[in-house]
Amino acid sequence: MSKLRVNAFSLSLDGYGAGPDQDLQNPLGVGGESLHKWFVDTRTFREMVLGQDGGTTDINEAFAARSFENVGAWILGRNMFGPIRGEWPDNSWKGWWGDNPPYHVPVFVLTHHKREPIVMEGGTTFYFITDGIHSALEKAKAAADGKDVRVGGGVATIRQYLQERLIDELHLAISPVLLGKGENLFAGLDMLKLGYQCTEQVATALATHVVIKRA
């Protein structure tokens, strides 16, 4: 059965998935890049994102590789897609990732403003969904054709799906850094009441990997 998953989502020790003041120069917010040190040296990151060989083959790589397995579609919040707010001024912005994004499957972007789909190289097509998270999930599951749907972020998007108990599995990589402020993943959420429990934890020097599943 198709699952709705969050994978390889980096979090600070104080619960922030992004730093403050996100903009074109700081897409992850000020200090946000420090959350991802565990990921950027892995073989999966180098291959999927940079198109390069090499990289680590340790526990961090094992979790990075798992994050791309059996994924048939993605869901992203608009902030994850880019820094533009409000109406789309034109069609020039096509994401952070260049002509060949690392998704290679349909990607459904949550937004309040209509935009035509964008067909990219490598099998990625961005679809812009204006009628909410349930519609995006329905469309993503249809496109995934039996495979899983991965919610890539950002924090606000994951929180919406958690509040509705729609996420089946959540893999967090908790990095040993403090951000102080930004977007907090769990603020105001009672994960126990929502029916979630920790099923796996593995620590490395750069991150503690935690898997949370819906009971």
> What residues does 38 pair with on adjacent strands?
none
Classified as helix, coil or strand, 16 is strand
Strands 71-77, 106-110: pairing is parallel
In terms of average pLDDT, the best of 13-17, 85-89, 179-183 is 13-17
> 125-182, pLDDT tens digit by residue?
999 999 999 999 999 999 999 999 999 989 999 999 999 999 999 999 999 999 999 8
Average pLDDT over residues 198-212: 97
Query: pLDDT at residue 11 above 90?
Result: yes
Domains of the chain (ranges, CATH numbers):
4-20+30-84+100-214 (3.40.430.10)
Answer yes or no: is pLDDT of 28 > 90.
Answer: no
Cα–Cα dist 111/203, whole Å = 36
Range from 6-15, 44-53, 189-198 carrying the lowest mean pLDDT: 44-53
Contacts of residue 212, Cβ cutoff 8 Å, sequence gap at least 6: 169, 170, 171, 172, 191, 196, 197, 198, 199
Query: Which pLDDT band holds residue 1 (cuts at 50, 70, 90)?
Result: confident
| pLDDT, mean of residues 90-105 | 92
Q: What is the pLDDT of residue 17?
A: 94
